[in-house]
Chains A and B, each alone.
Chain A
Amino acid sequence: MSAPGLGFGIYIHWPFCRLKCPYCDFNSHVRERIDHARWRSALLRELEHYARDTQGRTVTSIFFGGGTPSLMEPETVAALIARARDLWRIAGDIEITLEANPTSAEIEKFRAFREGSVNRVSLGVQSLIARDLKFLGRQHDAAQALAAVQMAATTFDRFSFDLIYARPGQTLEQWQDELDRALEFAAGHISLYQLTIEPGTQFEQAVARGDFRVLDEEHAAELYEATVARLGASGLADYEISNFARPGEESRHNLTYWRYGDYVGVGPGAHGRLTINGEKFATRQHRAPEAWLDLVERDGHATRQRDLVPRPERLNEMLMMGLRLKEGVPMTRIEEESAKPFAEALDPARLQRLIEGGFLTLSGDRLAATAEGRQRLDAVLAALVA
């Protein structure tokens, strides 16, 4: 059983999109026709399967991710939430988030999602500049995006939206302008991601062909630093590398990931982490939508992997996630996951070097990455545990 405070989340993956975005490496697919009724009952069955593994837990968040879950029929979303309520205890302040694209067709469904108990949306705005939206392969324009943000603000308790920055050729001034405009519409939460070229994406091929180049490290760092400063000045703290929120407005579901709490992953390609009798299991469902559907209909679930995560790797996973948070990782959690006293869990010489370098701090009962450290976290992690 996980300690209280980590939360226990349910992630539900909807694997379909209208179009595949050129930067996206998520498990998303474009299909002409989707049998919604069939998908609904399959998702419900897999949810039931995982409920048997995690009886007695209190669900603190549900997250509909994708793909484009705003393309789901609202009945499906409502049915999954209702079934979760039947299967688990539900926290009184449960956060139920749905990712949405800001197109008009999807905006029209907001009220129906609200009625199905969704209380938070996360909108994939990505940019407010027409040319950049086109570059990113998005199907909406800036006006639509802002209309969606305003609709979300009036429809749901909470909302967030995403922007992708550090685009090819983007200057600091351009980004600051765009960010200022976006912040006029932001409320408690915003996600700001630097563009990353992922393997297997259209952008990867484009970069290989020389169509464009990603920003160099110095330039990307400048944009990152300016972003953190600007958000801080607006009262939205950088509680995670790419996520900013007013106090109490953080994404609870994502906090569960970063605090290395447990979560169930349902739907094609969904991952989960479950602690059962003190052992940690990493689960993964079949990635291919049709294969997933057939397996669930046959077996009640499409679990492809259910691997025991050994202790040293549990520690690595927790540090990898937890050091992304400004709050860092409690030393007790390090001892819990590694099953070792703190002094033995981490190499003291490496730790010392990183603390002296100003990348980590060990204060009170927590190990945390400094702003300098978070900005270079991949190298810090490698220096700490690789």
Chain B
Amino acid sequence: MTDLAHIRNFSIIAHIDHGKSTLADRLIQACGGLTDREMKEQVLDSMDIERERGITIKAQTVRLAYKAKNGETYQLNLMDTPGHVDFAYEVSRCLAACEGSLLVVDASQGVEAQTLANVYQAIDNNHEIVPVLNKIDLPAAEPDRVKQQIEDVIGIDASHAVEISAKTGLNIGEVLEAVVERLPAPRGDDTAPLKAMLIDSWYDPYLGVIILVRVVDGKLKAKQEIKMMSTGATYEVERVGVFTPKQEIVPDLGPGEVGFITAGMKAVADCKIGDTITEERRPTATPLPGFKPSVPVVFCGLFPVDAADFESLRDSLGKLHLNDASFHYEMETSAALGFGFRCGFLGLLHLEIVQERLEREFNLDLITTAPSVVYKIHLNDGTMLEMHNPADMPDVVKIDRIEEPWIKATILVPDEFLGAILKLCEERRGIQTDLTYAGNRAMVVYKLPLNEVVFDFYDRLKSVSRGYASFDYHLEDYQEGDLVKLNILVNGDPVDALSCIVHRSQAETRGRALCVKLKDLIPRQLFKIAVQAAIGSKVIARETISALRKDVTAKCYGGDITRKRKLLEKQKEGKKRMRQYGNVEIPQSAFIAALKMHDN
């Protein structure tokens, strides 16, 4: 146990690519946490996807021993937080576990929207914030302009910002000094009943569930009986340790300290982020504020491209769920796509990450249906149901009204692209609530329906701003909307995988786009095919795929029979992936392609 005055807990807030992980690596190196030989790039991002995409999914901590210029040795706990809006709650708990933050801003790029949201969260958590300008060695670096921008946009004093290059190691010592000098020490009472925050947890195949904790009051030690305050479940602590970043067992963790415990837990689903851990025999009177269970906000269907992979998809989802309890899954059957799962995620990125891990780590080829949000359907009989699958839409005559989630979106964009961004937001039913300038960058705040955002908003945003706009959002509230279920019909039969809930004003555009897409994707057949978009029984868009006009092998003689017959057998095999719609059979691949285009 270290005395409180010699502890500093801090996190690093940065936009993707602004150098958070590189800075973390340098800090670890400077404190001798790892030898140069042990350093591998971006130590903290342990998953492949994290390293590749520069996104941290799980929170991680490192305890560093830093000998400051004043001769004293300090325990520094660096917390690496998930860096994306989908994990806003996880980020908020991480921030709640420290007293200060380093705000890392790329000295050539300036402040981005994500950074902003996280900084505000840090300010909400009463953090002391130390601005750090990174990539100062680049010729394009404009430290003065960026300092001004930090003051204008965020409203904090940037005059003492530390100017560094994480890449070259320039001024890394100054950062450590600033942590010791400028960030406050934690407070706490080691004699009080145990009160610790569960920051994150993950599954380790050897140790079981590892829980990351920050002790506020009391002490955590092995053999202690602990209790999770949200569930009431009790466990006996097996190991208490810290990451340096190597795992090291310690006798105990006292107030202000950050570390890990294992307690014989089998699944991370038992560990709720933000939960308060206390002693079983002597529980604390009040849990830590801010706890809320995570709730999925974006849903989609995940189907194996090859139906034979269904069982392996089930196994893989189970394994992933061991380590990420925040996504939900349940079995779903689709006429167009076969057996699969309806899955819920914290956001679009979370969805993408899970999908990518399933494909990469478990070698599955997957189809994703269009993402859906959670709608609140108020029925005439006064009951309300939450719907996240268009297939579950009740008969319209039974519906009184439908509410949909709205978000508050903050977009930062160079002013030359502002017009295009405003147009996009207006097209998506957005309501502007704020527009300010900082230099040549505009910050615009919109209220937007989430269902407009899950439908290719982010890609459009990037494309209309040539990649320069940054975007962040949080859920605001539910509002009534004129929402309808859009069905896509092939020869009169609905294609379940393509139906979606849309605002009535968007139904025709969306329906027409889907019809045109399918027209391109469905090969011509013996019979003409009608592709229609409809709301209820009302057709709002239609495309016709004309019938085949010529399709015959020119030459077929004695030597060609075997080859031709094998071709026919292959087609027969291929028919297993066909779906009958009226008198035509549509290859499943056409629907898959339509859904893939949806993604883009």
Q: Which residues of A contact B (CB under 8 A)?
A: 9, 11, 26-27, 193-196, 217-218, 220-221, 224, 241-242, 254, 257, 263, 265, 269-273, 282, 284, 313, 316-317, 320-321, 324, 353-354, 357, 359, 374-383, 385-386
Is A241 touching B554 in the complex (CB atoms < 8 A)? Answer: yes
Is A375 touching B572 in the complex (CB atoms < 8 A)? Answer: no
Is A357 touching B561 in the complex (CB atoms < 8 A)? Answer: no
Given A217-B549, A224-B550, A320-B561, the answer on whether A379 and B525 have CB atoms closer than 8 Å is yes
Is B526 touching A376 in the complex (CB atoms < 8 A)? Answer: yes
Shortest C-beta distance, A17 to chain B (Å), equals 16
Q: How would residues 241 to 284 of chain B score, 1 for a CB under 8 Å from any chain A CB and 0 otherwise?
A: 00000000000000000000000000000000000000000000
Could you list 13 further interchain pairs (A-B, Cβ under 8 angstroms) beyond the known A374-B552, A382-B568?
A27-B559, A194-B554, A195-B554, A217-B550, A242-B555, A257-B558, A284-B562, A316-B565, A321-B561, A324-B556, A357-B527, A375-B550, A377-B551
Q: Which residues of B contact A (CB under 8 A)?
A: 524-527, 548-559, 561-562, 564-565, 568-569, 571-572, 574-575, 583, 585
Which residue of A has the minimal Cβ distance to B523?
A379
Given A353-B583, A379-B526, the answer on whether A313 and B549 have CB atoms closer than 8 Å is no
Which of A194, A224, A271, A376 is in CB contact (< 8 Å) with B558?
A271
Shortest C-beta distance, B522 to chain A (Å), equals 14
Shortest C-beta distance, B593 to chain A (Å), equals 20
A-B contact pairs, 21 of them (CB 8 A): A9-B558, A26-B559, A27-B559, A194-B554, A196-B555, A221-B549, A241-B554, A263-B558, A271-B561, A316-B568, A320-B561, A320-B565, A321-B556, A353-B583, A357-B526, A357-B583, A374-B552, A376-B526, A380-B526, A383-B526, A386-B572
Shortest C-beta distance, B586 to chain A (Å), equals 13
Please give, as numbers and ranges, the residues of chain A lying within 8 Å of B583 by CB-CB distance: 353, 357
Please give, as numbers and ranges, the residues of chain A lying within 8 Å of B548 by CB-CB distance: 217, 376, 379
Given A257-B557, A313-B565, the answer on whether A359 and B550 have CB atoms closer than 8 Å is no
Residue of B525, B558, B585 with most partner-chain A CB within 10 A = B558
Given A357-B527, A379-B525, A386-B568, the answer on whether A271 and B562 have CB atoms closer than 8 Å is yes
Please give, as numbers and ranges, the residues of chain A lying within 8 Å of B555 by CB-CB distance: 193, 196, 242
Which residue of B has the minimal Cβ distance to A260?
B561
Residue of B548, B550, B551 with most partner-chain A CB within 10 A = B550
Distance A247 CA – B583 CA, assembled complex (angstroms): 37
Instruction: Give the number of A-B contacts (CB < 8 Å).
Output: 103
Is A375 touching B554 in the complex (CB atoms < 8 A)? Answer: no
Distance A316 CA – B570 CA, assembled complex (angstroms): 13
Please give, as numbers and ranges, the residues of chain B lying within 8 Å of A359 by CB-CB distance: 526
Which residue of B has the minimal Cβ distance to A320?
B564
Distance A376 CA – B552 CA, assembled complex (angstroms): 5
Shortest C-beta distance, B345 to chain A (Å), equals 40
Is B558 touching A273 in the complex (CB atoms < 8 A)? Answer: yes
Please give, as numbers and ranges, the residues of chain B lying within 8 Å of A375 by CB-CB distance: 549-552
Please give, as numbers and ranges, the residues of chain A lying within 8 Å of B524 by CB-CB distance: 217
Please give, as numbers and ranges, the residues of chain A lying within 8 Å of B585 by CB-CB distance: 383
Is A271 touching B559 in the complex (CB atoms < 8 A)? Answer: yes
Is A378 touching B552 in the complex (CB atoms < 8 A)? Answer: yes
Distance A377 CA – B550 CA, assembled complex (angstroms): 8
Please give, as numbers and ranges, the residues of chain A lying within 8 Å of B571 by CB-CB distance: 382, 386
Please give, as numbers and ranges, the residues of chain B lying within 8 Å of A11 by CB-CB distance: 558-559
Distance A328 CA – B565 CA, assembled complex (angstroms): 18
Which of B557, B561, B562, B568 is in CB contact (< 8 Å) with A381?
B568
Is A317 touching B556 in the complex (CB atoms < 8 A)? Answer: no
Shortest C-beta distance, B582 to chain A (Å), equals 10
Which residue of B has the minimal Cβ distance to A383?
B526
Please give, as numbers and ranges, the residues of chain B lying within 8 Å of A313 by CB-CB distance: 565, 569
